[in-house]
Amino acid sequence: MTSRPADPDRPGISIITVCMNRRPHLLASLPRVSAWPHHEEHIVVDWSSHTPLRRDELPDDPRIRLLRVEGETLWHPSLAYNFAASQVRTDWIFRLDADCWVQDLEPLELLQNQPADGWVARASQGGSLGAVLVRRDRFNAVGGFNELMRSYGFEDKDLIYRLEAQPEARIGDLAAEHIRFIPHNAQVRANLPGSEAKARALKRATSLSNRFLAASCPWPGHYRRARYRELAPGLWRLEAGSLPEPPQEIAAEARRLRRTIFWGRFLLLPEIHVIRAPQKLLPSDSEGQFPIHWAHTLYWHTVRRLVALPLLILTFLQRLVG
Amino acid sequence: MNRQEHLRITAARLSGWPHHDEHLIVDWSSAIPVRREDLPEDPRIRLHRVEGERRWNLCRAYNFAARLAAGEGLLKLDADCWPAATADPHNLLRKGPLWMGTGSGGSGGQFLMERRLFAQVGGFNEWLVGWGFDDKDLRLRLELATALPVADLPEGWVEVMAHADAARVGMGEGRVTAIAAAQALAALRASRLHNRLVAAESHWGPTRTQTVYRQIPSAERIPHWTAESGSVPVLPESLERSLARERRRRYWNTFLAIPDPALDLLPEKLLPGDQEGRWPVRWWHRLYWHTVRRLLMTPVWILAPWRGALGGRRRPRRRTS
């Protein structure tokens, strides 16, 4: 069912936001999103947060629809946003991350001054990258976000590239001043307990392996999106076996890539060392998580610090000169 | 490009094959031009030369060759390949319009297809450079655009000469030293990563404009061509910058075993990026390779015998091609 806005020329917009263990950001951004008068509904998906989000802690805005997906252990923005998009009832989808809100953006003006099928925040806009306001039919035509990608990194750019590659699609830019965000570190973004160094290494690893997956198995191709079952009103669960998987050979190559990049970055090792090291010493990820043992932590605090020392000195000198 | 030794052998074998109407050979600016008299006296051979190219570019070279081709079917064969004596392309094309080689050997990049399908996807992706991922990119775009199944060329249909990576990246066919092989591997990995990232971040298709070539006067009877300046497709500047960073990381990490975070901090002057695919390797890089890198490899060699015991996965030995 499509809810019609009062003004027939005004685009009907659904904001979609997904959140996994980022309650403080969401609680800070939601009142600001609610202050924006131009959307019909705001779908907030709680992606298996440890402590479930409660409707009574969110703003008293009837446009907010809180949904929860149970049973997920991995932060998977592509899946989560596609699920959110599947719940949309209007003609336009506006993806806004849990740390973002809109400021001084008038959609009707945007549509009149810069007619397009969608507008996106570009890489140069730092934390607001990922904000996309797009026609629902265009979004669905490209299969939404790429569900073959694991964890986060590149899923937002990939969607933009595929939207832009559609014949006759016009994709404009969302100006940086219209999308505001709460600055934060990689650890929060990756939904990762542990150190910032681990989060940065994982971000780099998943971002590169997601690029590899995008190049190796174009989405949607012959793949189908994951399916969900409603357990109770507002409570959903991924149907077992419905998560699309890349071919085994590609998945293995992506895993090898993640392993090489992650341990190389985290422990400051050359690629060849990681490639040749036994799996027991530097294991591959399991469900997007790299098991870090005491030996890795010890290495990080001792050898890695020693190896990094000349680099720190170099950085200091570069700052001094430049 | 610079693979005359391979070409002489494979062209002779191809001339003994009765199933084709023409054999287009494009000499991609080899340092020593391919001469018609070095090739078999087969009237089906059409030799063309593209002048002024400083680096090997498989995608542009094959797109150019495909444009010159007159046949309805295209059989792409690298300079080190030839079809098996029993291989019958007409028989395969009757069964299906799309056939591509598979596997990590040299036959992986070869194909047999109806020419209209190659044109339907805009041919090879001309944003890709050097070597690597070009065939996979083409295969995926064919699958998506034509919605036709891409069949695998039967095993043994294409035969391949054995050679080192150095020849693949246009370094010639002479004796390859360990350090030259390491450089070639690093260049190959940098090029392959670049191509994967390009395929992920941009979409090639029939609406993209391929390079335009202009015929230039030549004293020989071999037609000479050159790319029109400004017609070679280029990527957006910001993407090219980020790709250059990735190539630089991959090259020096592979060649000198320097981890990425260190490469990000070390000055460009010390470890420069590539210039149109050429990596400026200086004497101090060679010194480092022979000394520090060898030292750095010590833990790897020590651990090597324990890989199996510690759960390391043995990689199957790859055929050299």
User: Could you read off the pLDDT of A20-39 as tens digits, one per residue?
Assistant: 999 999 999 999 999 999 99
CA-based nearest residue in chain B for residue A249: B103
Percent of chain A clearing pLDDT 70 (strictly above)? 92
B262 to A162: CB separation less than 8 angstroms, yes or no = no
B311 to A280: CB separation less than 8 angstroms, yes or no = yes
pLDDT at A171 over 50: yes
Q: What is the pLDDT of residue A71?
A: 95
Confidence of residue B320 (pLDDT cuts 50, 70, 90): very low
Q: What is the pLDDT of residue A288?
A: 77
Candidates B140, B257, B262; nearest CB to A272 = B257
C-alpha neighbours within 13 Å on the C-beta side of residue A132: 28
CA nearest neighbour of B149 among B107, B189, B217, B100: B100
A318 to B313: CB separation less than 8 angstroms, yes or no = no
pTM (global) more than 0.95: no
Candidates B136, B199, B311; nearest CB to A279 = B311
Q: Region B2-11: what's the mean pLDDT?
A: 85
The amino acid occupying position A92 is W
The amino acid occupying position B142 is L
Distances (CA, A) of B51 to B31, B61, B269, B280: 10, 11, 31, 23
ipTM above 0.85, yes or no: no
Q: Exposed, middle or buried by CB within 10 Å (0-12, 13-18, 19+), for B272?
A: middle
**How far apart are the CA of A85 and the nearest CA of chain B, in angstroms?**
23
Q: Region B170-199: what's the mean pLDDT?
A: 84
Q: What is the pLDDT of residue A322?
A: 65
Per-residue model confidence as pLDDT tens digits over B226-248: 999 899 999 989 889 999 999 99
Residue B112 and residue B138 in contact, taking contact as beta carbons nearer than 8 Å: no
pLDDT at A11 over 90: no
Interface mutation target, options A149, A162, A168, A216, chain B, most CBs of B under 10 Å: A216
Sheet strand arrangement including B151-152: B73-76, B111-114, B98-100, B151-152
Instruction: Tell me if residue B264 falls in helix, strand or coil.
Output: helix
Q: What is the pLDDT of residue B218?
A: 84
A278 to B133: CB separation less than 8 angstroms, yes or no = no
Positive or negative: CA dihedral B83, B145, A223, B315 = positive
Which residues does chain A have within 8 Å of residue B201's beta carbon, measured at their own beta carbons? 157, 161, 211
B253 to A212: CB separation less than 8 angstroms, yes or no = no
| Separation of alpha carbons B72 and B115, rounded Å | 5
Per-residue model confidence as pLDDT tens digits over B44-66: 999 999 999 988 889 999 999 99
In what helix (H) or strand (E) does residue B184 lie, and over which residues does it extend?
helix B178-201
Which residues does chain B have within 8 Å of residue A261's beta carbon, measured at their own beta carbons? 260
Q: What is the pLDDT of residue A2?
A: 41
The structure tokens listed for B287 are 């010194």
A218 to B144: CB separation less than 8 angstroms, yes or no = yes
Which residues does chain B have within 8 Å of residue A158's beta carbon, measured at their own beta carbons? 200
pLDDT at A213 over 60: yes
Confidence of residue B314 (pLDDT cuts 50, 70, 90): very low
How many C-beta neighbours within 10 Å does residue A256 have?
Answer: 17
CA-based nearest residue in chain B for residue A211: B200
Q: What is the pLDDT of residue A233?
A: 94
Q: What is the pLDDT of residue B171?
A: 55
Per-residue model confidence as pLDDT tens digits over A124-157: 555 556 799 999 999 999 999 999 998 888 899 8
Q: What is the pLDDT of residue B164?
A: 59
Alpha-carbon dihedral angle through residues A23, A28, A31, A32, given to the nearest 10 degrees = -130
Q: What is the pLDDT of residue B321?
A: 31
DSSP E strand boundaries for B118-211: 151-152, 158-160
**How far apart are the CA of A154 and the nearest CA of chain B, in angstroms?**
9
Q: Region A199-228: what's the mean pLDDT?
A: 91
Percent of chain B clearing pLDDT 90 (strictly above)? 51
Interface mutation target, options A207, A276, A286, chain B, most CBs of B under 10 Å: A276
Interface mutation target, options B203, B263, B268, chain A, most CBs of A under 10 Å: B203
Distances (CA, A) of A76 to A214, B34, B128, B256: 15, 54, 30, 35
pLDDT at A4 over 60: no
A279 to B259: CB separation less than 8 angstroms, yes or no = no
pLDDT at B221 over 60: yes
Confidence of residue A58 (pLDDT cuts 50, 70, 90): very high
Confidence of residue B315 (pLDDT cuts 50, 70, 90): very low
Distances (CA, A) of A258 to A43, A262, A271, B317: 32, 6, 11, 22
Find the chain B residues whose C-beta atoms sit closer than 8 A to any C-beta of A.
133, 136-137, 140-141, 143-144, 196-197, 199-203, 205, 207, 238, 253-254, 257-262, 265-266, 296-297, 299-300, 303-304, 306-307, 309-313
